[in-house]
Amino acid sequence: MKDFKDKIAVITGGASGVGRSLAFALGREGAKIVIGDVDDDNMASALEALKSEGIEAVTQKADVTSADSMAALAEKAQSEFGGIHLVFANAGIGAGEGGNMWEYDLNDWEWGFRVNTWGVINTINAFMPRLVEQNEESHFVVTGSGNGAFLMYPDQPIYTATKASVHAITEGLYFQMQRAQSPVQVNALFPGPNVVDTGIFNSDRVRPEDLPKNPDKPDSGITSVDDMKNMMEQFGMTLETTHPDEVAEYALEGLRENKFFIAKTKESTLEQIKTRFDCIVNQTNPPMPGL
């Protein structure tokens, strides 16, 4: 897709972080924006800022863990603008796990999979039938993570597991569309190349009441990128970060070039990925990945 003017873009988790940056990047190129999110305050703020730039946009309270909510979001986009050209399955959370895996609260596992994995499934089910029926050039973009898709970090096994399954789903969907010779393209967006400065470390702000956090279970203690920076400084390390706007910029570049893998990756990370796949091919033990 070379031109985004007058295209209708739906973004889950679009009120903050990468989703918000995508909304502005697309809107500035003439796209019409539909933001779905559970964060009312950030959604109102994003809408006001978009409109102040003359970007045509609407918002809707949308919970990716609910199939009905995703269906309603799709209907909102269709009825408001008459079509859908870009869908970003972008909503995601971090459960804040820390310590030994067997000590985690089951609510954390449940919440992680509900949002990160089932959220993608529900978004696929709500939007893909519409895109396929339109039978015109469109994109379904899934925000994944190299943590799970390519490397397995030991300190975030819930997040890693959810994103590993998300990438399997995304690649499977890509192959199905390729086999069908459909004009609907599937793309895998990987934010980076460094830790992206978003609100995912403070996901508890949108935690559902039916899955409360257990204060007696281990927690990472990290609620912001600054917390992570401070922790690494204690070990004599410096954490580099990436602004979500940079991710949005290369996301649009990747869509123009119709890349399946849309990512910016550091050389050090690429080396770790190569090492891991060499271990798989050669059946050797994998080394511990590092940031």
- DSSP, residue by residue, 249-278: HHHHHHHHTT-SEEE---HHHHHHHHHHHH
* End-to-end CA, the chain: 33
Residue 43 three-state SS:
helix
Structural domain including 21 reads 8-266
Q: Is residue 154 part of a domain?
A: yes
| Four-CA torsion 101, 102, 107, 112, nearest 10 degrees | 30
Q: Is residue 281 part of a domain?
A: no
Q: 99: which 2 tokens?
A: 């310590």
The DSSP line for 86-125 is EEEE-------B-S-GGGS-HHHHHHHIIIIIHHHHHHHH
| Four-CA torsion 14, 16, 21, 23, nearest 10 degrees | 30
Contact 36, 105 (CB under 8 A): no
Residue 280 three-state SS:
helix
Instruction: Tell me the CATH number at 133.
Output: 3.40.50.720
Q: Is residue 3 part of a domain?
A: no
Angle, CA 288 vertex, CA 286 and CA 291 arms, to 5° = 130
Max CA-CA distance within the chain? 56
The string over 37-63, giving b where at least 16 C-beta atoms fall within 10 Å of a residue's C-beta and e elsewhere, is bbbeebbeebbeebeeeebbbbbbebb
Residue 22 makes CB contacts below 8 A (sequence gap 6+) with 9, 11, 14, 88, 90, 248, 251
Sign of the four-CA dihedral 57, 63, 64, 68:
negative
* pTM as predicted: 0.96
Cβ of 254: how many Cβ atoms within 10 Å? Answer: 21
pLDDT in tens, 144-183: 999 999 999 998 999 999 999 999 999 999 999 999 999 9
> Among 28, 170, 159, which Cα is nearest to 20's?
28
Specify the pairing of strand 86-89 against strand 57-61.
unpaired
Give the count of domains, the chain.
1
Q: Is residue 271 part of a domain?
A: no
Residues of the chain with pLDDT under 70: none
Q: Is residue 35 part of a domain?
A: yes
Question: Which pLDDT value is given to residue 227?
Answer: 84
Q: Is residue 106 part of a domain?
A: yes
Q: Is residue 276 part of a domain?
A: no
Residue 148 three-state SS:
helix
Q: Is residue 285 part of a domain?
A: no
